Homo-oligomer: A and B are copies of this chain.
């Protein structure tokens, strides 16, 4: 089992893993539902990396002892964290990115040059990257954000770094909204921040980061029956691809940005962070 690799593969071998393959993982509980293994691995391969991203199922009670030991695996170069570990993973970082410092959580960890590990959160950066790829700027725009849970607050913070004119936030939990408003003000005190009910009046970009409309839920997160065609409407929900909100937006002639674009933007940004240049 210890033979120098041949130049060509035999029939009884697979091509996608060898002793030289570098490892990445997504750590979560539960783990079976995650999509990063197939998507991030495809992105790594697309950039020519001999690397793979694996599902790593860690029980919450084991996290604090298992993770520091997992980081000692010498051919492991980075991790993604999902529910429920995004806040707990902060403790693994020797250095935090600007988003993570404000949000207080990370979802990606990678080796630092010179040793140690650095962490950043890409939930919000993925949304910004999705908009960037479509050529839609946030700078100077008036933004309405619905939902200020984990993904929503990360989106709010990432958008705040883009110099919008204003951000209005809404969540059923008003405490969470106040908390996010404070974080936004910390990023950029020039942004006008409001807390209040969902509206599209005097709004350029509507962002839904609430679960309303997910997986067969027929509701929309905003009461309006029509939307101005000048509005850009984003929904963080990935399934269904067209939520009731996006269906209305399309019927009103709005520009629509989908959850899958955020997901692709996030994957590209994380693989950048892992140190693999875009092809």
Contacts and interface: CB of A to CB of B under 8 A. Distances in A.
Contact of A19 (B21, B35, B239): B35
A74 B54 contact: no
B1 A52 contact: no
Copies of this chain, whole number: 2
Interface string A1-37: 1111100010011111111110100101101111111
A236 to B, nearest CB: 11
A9 B33 contact: no
Contact of A72 (B58, B215, B266): B58
Say what secondary structure dominates the interface of chain A: loop
A45 B266 CA distance: 30
B75 A14 contact: no
Between A16, A38, A83, the greatest number of chain B beta carbons within 10 A of the residue's beta carbon is seen for A38
Between A28, A42, A70, A82, the greatest number of chain B beta carbons within 10 A of the residue's beta carbon is seen for A42
A74 B53 contact: no
Nearest to A239: B3
A263 interface: yes
B9 A38 contact: yes
Interface in A20-79: 20-21, 23, 26, 28-29, 31-39, 41-43, 45-46, 52-59, 62, 65-66, 69-70, 72-75
Interface of A: 1-5, 9, 12-21, 23, 26, 28-29, 31-39, 41-43, 45-46, 52-59, 62, 65-66, 69-70, 72-75, 80, 82-83, 107, 215, 238-239, 263-264, 266
Given A2-B33, A59-B72, A62-B69, 20 more contacts: A1-B80, A1-B263, A3-B263, A12-B39, A14-B42, A14-B45, A17-B41, A18-B37, A19-B31, A19-B32, A19-B35, A19-B55, A20-B55, A21-B54, A23-B56, A56-B75, A57-B74, A58-B72, A65-B72, A70-B73
